[in-house]
Structure 1
Amino acid sequence: MNVHDSERIAGILSEVGYEASNSIDTADVVVLNTCCIRENADNKLYGNLGHLSALKAERPGMKIVVAGCLAQKDKELVAKKAPYVDVVVGTFNLSSIPDLLSRADGSKAEMEFLDAPKEYDEVSSIAMKRESSISAWVSIQTGCNNSCAFCIVPSVRGKEVSRPFQDIVDEVRLLARSGVREVTLLGQNVNSYGRDITLSLRKGEIEGDLERWSGERWLLDPRPRVRPLFSDLLRAVGSVKGISRVRFTSPHPKDMVIETFEAMSETEAVCEQLHFPLQSGSDRVLSEMRRGYSSAKYLERLRLARSIVPDLAVSTDIIVGFPGESDEDFKDTLRVVEEANFDGAFTFIFSPRPGTRAAEMTQSFIDPEIVQTRFDALKEVVEVSALGKHEARVGRVEEVLVEGSSKRDSSVLSGRTRQNKLVHFVPPSDLELSEGDLIGVRIGSAAPHFLRGEVDRVISRPRVRQSIALKP
C-alpha cells in the first residue's frame, strides 16, 4: 500500500510540472512517505529528517514533505519535532500536496488531514507514476474494519471503503493497453472487498449505474445478498485481454471463502499464489490478538485452498513475542508452521504501536532476549520448509516473467514465476530478452529465497517491449 501511495504522489507531482531527481542533494522537493506498522519506522523517519535538516540549511529553498501513515498518526507532532518540515499531509490527502507546497513559505508547516477517505470517484482519478512498465498495483479498497490488537492500520487508514467494481476493471483494461502484463489487487483486507457496496445497494443508498458499483454477476443473481464481491472481481480482472497474471494482497483468514479459491482455480490469469497471514499458531494468542479464527480453522482453510488450487504457493506473516506469549504458545506456533509447510514467511518481532490494545499490555511484555531466541528458531523452521518447497521445483520448467537485471549481478536477469518465486538466470548470448517477456526457465538449483535456472524457451512477448541493458 505504501509503495502504491508513493507512485500516486509521484504522479501528482509530475502532473503539475515536477520531474524526478536522481539525487536527494539536488532535489527541490523531498517527500518522505511514511509507514507506522512498526516502531523502527518512526525512528527511521526522524533519523532521515535529521539528515535533511543539515541539507536544508545549505539549500534553504528545498522543501520537505512528510506524508502517509506516520503523518496521519502523529499530525502536529511531526512539525513540532522537525520544525523545518514544510508540508505534513495524511493518508487521505495526497491530492492536496501540490497546493500545500505552493502555500509553504518556510514560516511554518502547511498541514492537512482528513479523518476518512475521500470518495473513490476522486481518489481513483489521481495520476500515477508507476515504477514498473509491466507490473502494476491496482487499489480496490482503502481502510480496514477489523480490530486486531496489534494493528494501527484502522486508525490511520480508516474504515473500509470499496472502489466501484467497473472502475477497477476499466483501470486494468487501460493498463493492459499500455503494456502491463501483471496486476496486483491491493487492499487491507481484499477478500472483504465489496461488502460495503452490496450493503449500500440493498439499502437503496446507491443510485445511477448500479453495474458500475457491483459488476454484472451480483445484479443478475436472483437473490442478490449482502456479500463481498472479491471472487467476482478476480474473474472480471482475470478476463481482461492482455493481462497474463493477477495477484492480490492481503486477505484475512477469517473472511476467506471457498468462492475465492474457486475463482483462483477457474480463472487462468489468476496466479497460484496466496499470502495467508497466520500471525500466531497459539489459539490463546490468536484470541488475544482478536484475529477471529483458531489455528485449526486456519489449517482447514489452507487445506481447502490447496485442494482447489493446484500447485499453490503459500506465504504468511507471523509475529513473535506478542504480550503474554508463553513457551507453550510459541511451541504451538512452531507446530502450526511445520504443519502448514509454507513457501515463505514474513516474520516480525512484536512492536507496540501507540493507540492499539496490545501497546497497553505492558505488564505482559516479554524479555527481548527470549523473543530474539524464539524469532531465530522460527526463522530456521520457515527456511527449512521454504528450501524444501524450492528443491521440489528443481528440474521443472517454470513460467517466468522477466523483470530486469539482478540487483547483485547485472549480468544476470531475474523474474518471477506464477507462484511469485524469484528466479535468477543468465540469458543465452543468442537470445535478446526484454522486460515483460514470458519465458520458460528450467530450474537447476534452489535456495530458501530464490531459484536458479537456464532459459528453455520464449513463451510470449509483450506488445510494448522494454529492452534490458546487461553489463558483463
Structure 2
Amino acid sequence: MARKYLVRTFGCQMNEHDSERIAGVLEADGLEATTEVSEADVVVLNTCCIRENADNKLYGTLGHLKSEKDRRPELEIVVGGCLAQKDREVVQQRAPYVDVVMGTHNVGRVSELLEAARRDGPTMEILEATAAADHEAFPSALPAKREQGWAAWVTIQFGCDNSCAFCIVPAVRGPEISRPFGDVLDEVRRVAADGVTEVTLLGQNVDSYGRDLTLRVRGEHDGAPAGTPSHEFVVGEAWLTEREAMCASGRARPLFADLLRAVGSVPGIRRVRFTSPHPKDMRAETIAAMAHTAAVCEHLHLPMQSGSNEVLAAMHRGYTAERYLRVVHDARIGIDDLALTTDVIVGFPGETEADFEATLEVCAEAQFDSAYTFIYSSRPGTEAAEMTAAFVDHAVSVNRMERLRAVIERSAVRANKARIGRVDEVVVTGPSRRDPSMITGLTRHNKRIHLPAPAGVRPRPGTYVSALVTEARMTSLVGEIVDIGDSPVHRTRIPVSAG
C-alpha cells in the first residue's frame, strides 16, 4: 500500500505554488495525497511569516500534530516556507518532534531531507536567500500537483529589493532575482500543453521583472553581437530588437510588459493574471500591454497600503497618494472596463486620525472593487517592529478598520451593480459550497459569480461559459448561463522518481 502525504499551506500564492511543487516531488517519490491527518504518513506545513496569526496557526497545528505523533511515532512532520526560513531554531525548540525544518529554497529536496531524518534524526536545512540564485531559485523542472487542472501559477521572480518597513519578505526570500524570459515561456507552454488555460505570474514586484536580466546582458555583452539564442532566452526578443535599433548596449529596463505580451500569445492560454505589482514601478508600457493583449485579464491588484503621504514615507513605499491616484487614473483610461483591487494596512506605527482620514479619501476616490484590509501586525526583524513608542492602540485600529471596510464595501457594491445586465466570460470553478444546485465561477475581473446549473448539464471545472449578470452582492455576483463552451481537456503528467 502506498504511503500518503498531506500538505497544508499558510500564506500567499507563493506559498501555494511552493506547496504544489512539494506535492509533486512527494508523488514522484511514490506517495499519494490524502486530506486526513489520521491517514497521512507525511504531513508538510508550508508556512508564511507576514502576519502574527500565521505563527499562531502554525504552532496551533503543530500542537494538534504532537498527539498524533505520540500515537503514531512513524508519522513524519515537515515544516517549510518563510517562517521556517526565518525562525528555524525557534521551530525546533518549540516543536522538537518535527522531523524536517526546511527553508524557502529547499522545495525540491523534501524527499531527500525526509530520508536524512529517518537515517540521522531531526534535520534542518536552510539555504540562505543570498545563495539561492546559485542553487534552486526556480525549480521549474520539479513536478507539480495542481489543485485546479485548468489554472497554474508560474513564478517569474523571487526575492525583493524594496525596503518596506513592515515587510519581512526580503529577509526570507532574499534579493530580487528574475527568471530568464525563455524559461518562463517554456513553463507556460508546458502547462498549456497539459490543458491549463489560465496562468498567474507570481513575483514580489512583477513590475520590475527583468531589470536585472537586461543589466546582466548589457554589462556582460557590450559590443558583442546581439540576437544570439542565449541572449534571447535570457531577455526575450523584444529587448534585443530594441537594443539593435539603438545601435548601442540598450537601456536596462524591466521586461514585464514584454512578458505579458509573450505569455498572452502562447496557444491555449486564454487568461493571464499577475500578482503583485508595485505602484512606484507601474509603467505606461505595462498598462498598454494589459490593454492590447487579449488574454490579459482586466483586473489590476495594486497594493496601496495607506493614503497618507506621511505614513507612506514611513513605510518606505516610494510613492505618494497623488502618484498612486495618477497610476489608477492612467490604468482606468488605458484599460477598458478595469477592475481594481488593493491592500490596505490600518494602524501602522504613528498613524494619526488625519492620516487615516487621508486613507479613506483615497479609497473613496480610487473606487476599489474590493480590498484586502489588515490591522498592522508587528513582525520581528522589520524596521516597523522597532517603532514601539508609535504603536497605535488596538481598539483604535479596530475602529478604523470598521470605517475603512464601510468605504470599501460601498465601492464594491457599486462596481458589482454596474455589471448587472452584462454578459461576462466565466470559468467554472466547481459546485457552490452552500447550494449544490448552483455552480460557481470566476469572471475575467476576478469576481466570483454563482450560476444555476442548467437542467441535465453540469459543466466541469475549467469550462468557459457566457453568463448574464442578474444580481449584485457585496462580494459576488449572481447570473444565468447563456452559452457553454467546450469542456476542458486536462492532461496529467505522471511524475517519475529520480530513484
CA distance in 2, matches of 1:432, 1:82: 46
2:22 to 3, 9, 29: 9
Aligned 1:97-136 pairs, distance under 5 A: 97-105=110-118, 108-116=121-129, 117-119=132-134, 123-136=139-152
Match for residue 165 of structure 2? Answer: 149
Question: Cα offset for 1:205?
Answer: 7.0
**TM-score of the superposition, structure 1-length normalised?**
0.96
Cα contact 1:37–1:152 (8 A) shared by 2:
yes
Question: Cα offset for 1:209?
Answer: 1.0
Match for residue 8 of structure 2? Answer: none
Question: Bigger CA drift: 205-214 or 191-200?
Answer: 205-214
Match for residue 154 of structure 2? Answer: 138
Match for residue 326 of structure 1? Answer: 352
Cα contact 1:83–1:108 (8 A) shared by 2:
no
CA distance in 2, matches of 1:372, 1:169: 44
**CA deviation vs aligned residue, 1:215-258 (integer Å, no higher than 9, x gap):** 10011112321011000000000001111100000000000000
Match for residue 80 of structure 2? Answer: 67
Question: Cα offset for 1:424?
Answer: 0.5
Cα contact 2:439–2:452 (8 A) shared by 1:
yes
Question: Bigger CA drift: 135-144 or 15-24?
Answer: 15-24
1:411 to 437, 446, 449: 437
Match for residue 235 of structure 2? Answer: 214
* Alignment size in residue pairs: 466
1:193 aligns with 2:209: yes
CA distance 1:363–1:106, change in 2 (3 Å): farther
Aligned 1:154-303 pairs, distance under 5 A: 154-204=170-220, 209-221=230-242, 222-223=245-246, 224-303=250-329
CA distance in 1, matches of 2:119, 2:188: 41
Residue identity in the other structure for 1:302: V
CA distance in 1, matches of 2:352, 2:57: 31
Match for residue 386 of structure 1? Answer: 412
1:84 to 97, 100, 108: 97
Question: Bigger CA drift: 88-97 or 109-118?
Answer: 109-118
Match for residue 225 of structure 2? Answer: none
CA distance in 2, matches of 1:167, 1:408: 41
CA distance 1:93–1:264, change in 2 (3 Å): same
Match for residue 444 of structure 1? Answer: 470
Name the SS for the 1:251 alignment partner. Answer: coil
Name the SS for the 1:440 alignment partner. Answer: strand
Question: Bigger CA drift: 172-181 or 317-326?
Answer: 172-181
Name the SS for the 2:37 alignment partner. Answer: coil
Question: Cα offset for 1:383?
Answer: 0.7
Report the identity percentage. Answer: 54
Question: Cα offset for 1:96?
Answer: 1.7
Cα contact 2:133–2:177 (8 A) shared by 1:
no
Match for residue 375 of structure 1? Answer: 401
CA distance in 2, matches of 1:115, 1:418: 38
**CA deviation vs aligned residue, 1:27-83 (integer Å, no higher than 9, x gap):** 111000000000111111111111111110000000100000000000111111111
CA distance in 2, matches of 1:464, 1:45: 34
1:352 aligns with 2:378: yes
CA distance in 2, matches of 1:301, 1:280: 15
Residue identity in the other structure for 1:380: A
Question: Cα offset for 1:150?
Answer: 0.2
Question: Bigger CA drift: 49-58 or 205-214?
Answer: 205-214
1:36 to 49, 55, 60: 49
Cα contact 2:156–2:179 (8 A) shared by 1:
yes
1:93 aligns with 2:119: no
Name the SS for the 2:220 alignment partner. Answer: coil
CA distance 1:465–1:423, change in 2 (3 Å): farther
Cα contact 1:185–1:246 (8 A) shared by 2:
yes
Question: Cα offset for 1:411?
Answer: 2.3
Name the SS for the 2:118 alignment partner. Answer: coil
Question: Cα offset for 1:262?
Answer: 0.3
Residue identity in the other structure for 1:62: L
Name the SS for the 2:39 alignment partner. Answer: coil
Match for residue 459 of structure 2? Answer: 433
CA distance in 2, matches of 1:6, 1:356: 26
**TM-score of the superposition, structure 2-length normalised?**
0.91
Match for residue 469 of structure 1? Answer: none
Residue identity in the other structure for 2:158: T
Question: Cα offset for 1:407?
Answer: 2.2
CA distance in 1, matches of 2:331, 2:339: 10
Q: Which runs of 5+ in 1 are unaligned?
A: 467-472
Residue identity in the other structure for 1:20: A
CA distance 1:431–1:54, change in 2 (3 Å): closer
Question: Bigger CA drift: 250-259 or 394-403?
Answer: 394-403
